[in-house]
Amino acid sequence: MKRRLLFLGPPGAGKGTQAKLLCKQQNLVHLSTGDLLRSEVAAGSPLGKKAAEVMNRGELVSDLLVLSIVEDRLVGLDQGWLLDGFPRNVSQAKALEDLLLKISQPIEAVVVIQVNDDVLLERLLARGRADDSEQVIRHRLEVYQEKTAPLVDFYSKKGLITPVLGAGQVEEISRRISRSLI
């Protein structure tokens, strides 16, 4: 069976960390919009230049830009996949729904990784990426609450949500996620 999964959760919840492990275990293609945007930034492409400034403020990059990146990667993919960090708002979720309908690849499950704000702040300050200063992290958490958290309700109504506790050791959380997807 080709798996089609989404990882949802606040910044620093460990979406990227856990997505890499699960994709390796289950031979899935890992599509992280954060990683894809950061590689555009590193390459200094026009898209990357636009994205860098927005990311360093802790805001969301424009839907159109992110959507074009995801569509490029998903269309024609003949393997299971995991979307990490996308969608990030209801309008991206609706656009994804239309795209997946067009290519007949419905979502199988949405894993929500739950971690409290104190732990998130601690993890991200320790990571120290360009967008990991305390002020920017706090703003990203607000953006998450306002724009991304409503997706839990959006996908709950479709019966797709699988909540997983994201506190603890990386391996322990990985086992929780694998068990939740059996």
- Interface residue list for ligand B4P (CB under 6 A): 9, 11-17, 33-34, 37, 54-55, 58, 60-61, 66, 85-86, 88, 92, 123, 127, 131, 140, 170, 173
CB of 177 to ligand B4P, least distance (A): 11
Place of tokens 């990059």: 61
Residue closer to ligand B4P (CB basis): 17 or 114 = 17
CB of 182 to ligand B4P, least distance (A): 21
Least CB distance to ligand B4P at residue 45 (A): 15
In the bound state with ligand B4P, the residue whose beta carbon lies nearer, of 78 and 95, is 95
Closest chain position to ligand B4P (CB): 34
E strands, 27-160, in order:
29-32, 81-84, 109-114
List, as one string, the DSSP characters of 71-119. HHHHTT--S-EEEES---SHHHHHHHHHHHHHTT----EEEEEE--HHH
Dihedral of the alpha carbons of 181, 149, 32, 141, in degrees to the nearest 10: -130
For ligand B4P, give the closer residue by CB, 1 or 28: 28
| Closest CB 1 distance from ligand B4P, rounded Å | 25
Q: Distance between CA 169 and CA 123 in Å, rounded?
A: 12
